Amino acid sequence: MNKKKIISPINNRKDRLPPGQHWIQYPLVYDIVERLPHFDIEKYRFKVWGEVGQEIELTYQEILNLPSVELTADFHCVTRWSVKEIIWEGVQTKVILDMVKPNPDAKFVYVYCLEGYTTNLPLEYFAKEDSILAYKMFGETIPREHGYPLRLVVPQLYAWKSAKYVWGIEIRKDDKPGYWEERGYHMLGEPWKEQRFWGD
């Protein structure tokens, strides 16, 4: 059976390169720690909780067994570089949402990562067709420095929202700033509005 293929709507915009950005060939690597912590993939668990009807906890293999898609999407970093047409493979976030059944008053998502990083975004962006939890990049298992075992990919927002090393998703009624948002980054981060920092 052929895998469903998705082209992000941002790739079809006439103004495909957001203001203030320039193209580079391959995404640069940024982390909040000098050395990534070691973890045992056999003990890894992906969890979703909060304002949901059903909390879930999945092993890495159970994630791989969920229906998957291939996503082609441009990638825009707040530091002003962009990369064309990164090919990801993973699980659409809306599949996860169908499993947990968010409550009617759920409005936001808070993302937890293995090295301590966090970020936030509106549930409506998390639920978009081109938002996925990716475990492959350009046809191969995601390299550790790019987010193994699981990376949230949200093409319609700046890349700091596409968190690496994801282990947890909290569904919330209210918004809560994550790591970079606490340090002055914008709470939403829409590239075509240049929402880089609070006040933009």
Pairwise CA distance, residues 91 & 65, whole Å: 9
The secondary structure of residue 148, as a DSSP letter, is T
Question: Quick check: 90 and 71 in contact, CB under 8 A?
Answer: yes
pLDDT at residue 188, rounded to an integer:
97
> What's the pTM value of the predicted model, to 2 decimals?
0.95
Given a cut of 90, whether residue 36 has pLDDT beyond it is: no
Predicted confidence (pLDDT) per residue in 169-195, tens digit = 999 999 999 999 999 999 999 999 999
Predicted confidence (pLDDT) per residue in 4-27, tens digit = 999 999 999 999 999 999 999 999
pLDDT at residue 1, rounded to an integer:
54
| Helix H or strand E encompassing 91 | strand 81-92
Given a cut of 80, whether residue 2 has pLDDT beyond it is: no
Per-residue pLDDT band at 199 (split at 50, 70, 90): confident
Question: Quick check: 69 and 97 in contact, CB under 8 A?
Answer: no
Between the alpha carbon of residue 192 and those of residues 20, 115, 143, 171, 186, the distances in Å are: 9, 29, 29, 26, 13
Predicted confidence (pLDDT) per residue in 89-134, tens digit = 999 999 999 999 999 999 999 999 999 999 999 999 999 999 999 9
CATH class in words for 4-24+44-193: alpha beta
